Chain A
């Protein structure tokens, strides 16, 4: 294993690490701020209170205030896990973003096993969210962690099947190849079940909307009840970043990614990401939280068969 003479299969060239750092920071930073502000604006305008603009500045002011607050801990927490969980969640968002192409031929690292890497990041997010609730040694946080796992194991399978269905016509596990395969017809048309199921998965991984079972009000703050200061801010920021990454993946896998007339590829990708993000954020505001038990029944009884059907449609369509 000297690294020389090893025949690495050709794909899209990965970005130089320095460039990748700038790109990832810009995409996730701007995207997360956009997601948080959008959520505030939608919530404020639906509630018919305040100026949308003031809702946006309020979010940023609150973030700055949180960053300056003292971090308090509980009695006998698993401190290392607790402190590292938000960073790990953000790291998983970065890892998942790396395999999603930003435009034709531009990706941080469009590896051949793209959807497997994406799925691994998604699965590890379950561990991180569980540990984040488990580590403070606090009852409500612990309850939220356990019920999240029940929800997570149910949406995780949906994600696998819709991604595999999208990979079948592409004959590749690379997300770049999946976008390429949609040059003629987008997956949202030939596999219409994929995108709705993907929205469910996205809400699950970011514990928002109908699947807001973690940091939720019914558990007095749940997994985040003991978080304070910078730690709370990081967790919220990482969650917004993860939402952006899932919106990007949805745009790439189901909405044809960079394909589109007139505008350059990157612009189409940004537009489609913004569209999916708007739907996700809108759903987060509008849709009521389901109880974990009801979602588990819905997921195994209805959504999973739909995911099988999606896979069947994907398979038959590419015969």
Chain B
């Protein structure tokens, strides 16, 4: 039963991973990648890595939503709605992928894995916790704080409203022809209702 489930989830993971590069939209590609991760999460649960498996489902889902949305937001292709190819440098990528896969398969086939079952699953969790929050805590915490600061900065930079007012404040439309005059009526925001009287503040 577990073997059948393992085969089903593994094949589904590989197939959806392959389809990521066959579809023609960022949204489809992102969520097929998510499907691949979900299947890997299911395999981890089968391997009795319950927490890692379910946490993978949770984290990858939020990550893929953010990734899909940001890719669409920052793409030249309007809203990511036009069909587009999901590959570049396909030959080099295929070679690199095969080399990486060969490496992993080689490890799987030739490596000498310990086959002694873990005595008491909770002990392994405790060891992992000590590792994360003991000797290596400074490294993990610094990385965590750095990532948090990055996220806060990204939000601040992309927010339409900042501490100095609206994000459009003071933005000036470019002239229609090179070296031409700036036309206030092209500006994104009407600064006031008093027509084009910019000196009146």
Contact = CB atoms under 8 A, between A and B. Distances in A.
Answer yes or no: do A and B interact.
yes
Interface residues of B, number: 28
Contacts of A130: 65
Contacts of A8: 48
Interface in A117-137: 117, 119-120, 123-124, 126-127, 130-131, 134
B61 A124 contact: yes
Given A1-B3, A120-B61, A153-B66, A9 B54 contact: no
A148 to B, nearest CB: 10
A123 B61 contact: yes
A6 B1 CA distance: 13
Contacts of B50: 111-113
Contacts of A117: 54, 57
A127 B3 contact: no
Contacts of B14: none
Contacts of A9: 121-122
Given A8-B48, A120-B54, A127 B6 contact: no
Interface in A1-30: 1-3, 6-9
Contact of B48 (A6, A119, A131, A146): A6
Nearest to B50: A113
A127 B1 contact: no
A184 B55 CA distance: 30
A226 interface: no
A119 B57 CA distance: 9
Interface residues of A, number: 30
B58 A119 contact: yes
B6 to A, nearest CB: 6
Nearest to A156: B62
Nearest to B53: A113
Nearest to B57: A120
Interface string B48-77: 101100110110011011100100000000
B69 A123 contact: no
A162 to B, nearest CB: 15
A33 interface: no
Contacts of A134: 27
Residue of B3, B31, B54, B55 most packed against chain A (CB within 10 A): B54
Given A1-B2, A127-B34, A116 B51 contact: yes
A141 to B, nearest CB: 13
A313 interface: no
Nearest to A293: B160
Contact of A126 (B3, B47, B61, B121): B61
Contacts of B200: none
* B3, B57, B58, B61: most-surrounded residue (chain A CB, <10 A): B58
A125 B183 CA distance: 47
Given A1-B46, A2-B3, A116-B58, A7 B65 contact: no
Interface string B7-51: 000000000000000000001100100100000000000111011
A149 interface: yes
Contact of A131 (B31, B51, B58): B31
Contact of B64 (A127, A152, A153): A127
Contact of B1 (A3, A131, A146): A3
A3 B54 CA distance: 20
In order of increasing CB-CB distance, the 3 nearest A-B pairs are: A120-B57, A123-B61, A120-B58
30 contacts: A1-B2, A1-B6, A2-B2, A3-B1, A3-B3, A7-B117, A9-B121, A78-B28, A112-B50, A113-B50, A113-B51, A113-B55, A116-B51, A116-B57, A117-B54, A117-B57, A120-B54, A120-B57, A120-B58, A120-B61, A124-B61, A126-B62, A126-B65, A134-B27, A142-B79, A149-B65, A152-B65, A153-B62, A153-B65, A300-B155
